Amino acid sequence: MTKTGLFLLLLCFACSSQAWAQRIDNSSVFKTVNSDCYFRVDYDNDYFTRTDKYYTQGIELEYVNPLLKYFPLSELLLRFSKGETKYGISLDHAAYTPTSTSTDKILYGDRPFAACLSVKAFAISADTPMHEQLTSGLVTGIIGPGAGGREMQTTIHRWLANPLPLGWENQIQNDLILNYQLNHEKELLDLNHFLLINSAAELRAGTLNDKISGGFNFMFGKFSNPYLSSSNHRTGSKKLSYYIYGQPSLSFVAYDATLQGGVFDHKNPYTIPSQSISRFTFQSDYGIVVCIGTFYLEYCQSYLTKEYGTGTYHRWGGIRIGFML
């Protein structure tokens, strides 16, 4: 697609009305797996930062294979007209809770309980000569009791012999997730594949929240150029690579159904009013990646400023394990 077309598309999405609040996101170049066929498991939990609130857990099962180009939803994904594109699908689950799960009463002024379960079809398109990447994703799913957040957290607490969580009967009610996501990155500086700095922009639109973000990211260490094609990477697939990364970003949030309730069902026990939503948030993601042959391993942490007036900042951590097939 042309740069003019991309700009007009981003502008149209920026003027639309709702998007998606999923935390796990592997669209960035620093999450690149050097293969067009791989499987990756992602797990987030604020246990890694010794907390148990807000975004409390996220799980994603991710599969990339060239044959997914023929998956019906892949036709709706944007990609560059030239260059190489990876096609994938993922299953995502996320759970959100207030600062305490020891009471079945509504904690007014705190975050409501919410859970999301979704399937995402995505395409990662790289323009090697221009050193830029476009990632698009289409997400379908459910927010509410049907997502199984209560059952998931209760099971984990039981495994850990922790007190069982109370209050899930007050969660955001069942509603539709139908979202589209665009991410664009452009190389700004490359020092001999030892230090890589990129601009980063993101826009999500659909039925769960409106969000547009901008910032930059960096990779520092020993790694292959993420903008190269998979065929170039395969020649060195047995080599060791390791690097640290970071990404600060500023977001404008117009709507978030995990706080305010879904678009269609407004009969929620408790939600955060629109006037209390923090329209601007800052998030910082950082981590370390080690790739040995066909094995991918990552540990990461994230920091997010408060999402509503009476809230506080939040931190969580995550691990990623991937295998090239």
Residue 11 has pLDDT above 50, yes or no: no
CA distance 171 to 283: 25
What's the whole-number mean pLDDT along residues 187-198? 94
Give pLDDT, residue 276: 96
Give pLDDT, residue 104: 95
Give pLDDT, residue 228: 80
Across the chain, what does the average pLDDT equal?
89
Cα Rg of the chain, angstroms: 19
DSSP letter (8 states) at residue 239 = S
* Each residue's pLDDT tens digit, 255-308: 999 999 999 988 999 999 999 999 999 999 999 999 999 999 999 999 999 999
* Each residue's pLDDT tens digit, 92-119: 999 999 999 999 999 999 999 999 999 9
Give pLDDT, residue 52: 86
Give pLDDT, residue 2: 44
- pLDDT top residue among 107 and 231: 107
Contacts of 171 (CB under 8 A, 6+ apart): 112, 113, 114, 115, 144, 145, 149, 150, 269
Yes or no: say if 280 and 249 are a contact pair by the CB < 8 Å rule: no
| CA dist 73 → 86, 119, 202 (Å) | 14, 11, 20
In the chain, DSSP assigns E strands to 38-45, 54-64, 84-97, 114-127, 132-143, 175-191, 195-206, 209-222, 240-256, 280-292, 295-304, 314-324
- pLDDT top residue among 195 and 157: 195
Percent of the chain with pLDDT over 90: 77
Going by CATH, does the domain composed of 3-324 fall within 2.40.128.140?
Answer: yes
Percent of the chain with pLDDT over 70: 90
Query: Please, which pLDDT band fits residue 47 given cuts at 50, 70 and 90?
Result: confident
Query: Please, which pLDDT band fits residue 14 given cuts at 50, 70 and 90?
Result: very low
What's the whole-number mean pLDDT along residues 74-99? 94
CA distance 84 to 199: 20
Give pLDDT, residue 1: 46
CA distance 303 to 165: 24
Give pLDDT, residue 231: 54
Query: Please, which pLDDT band fits residue 13 given cuts at 50, 70 and 90?
Result: very low
CA distance 184 to 195: 19
Residue ranges of domains in the chain? 3-324
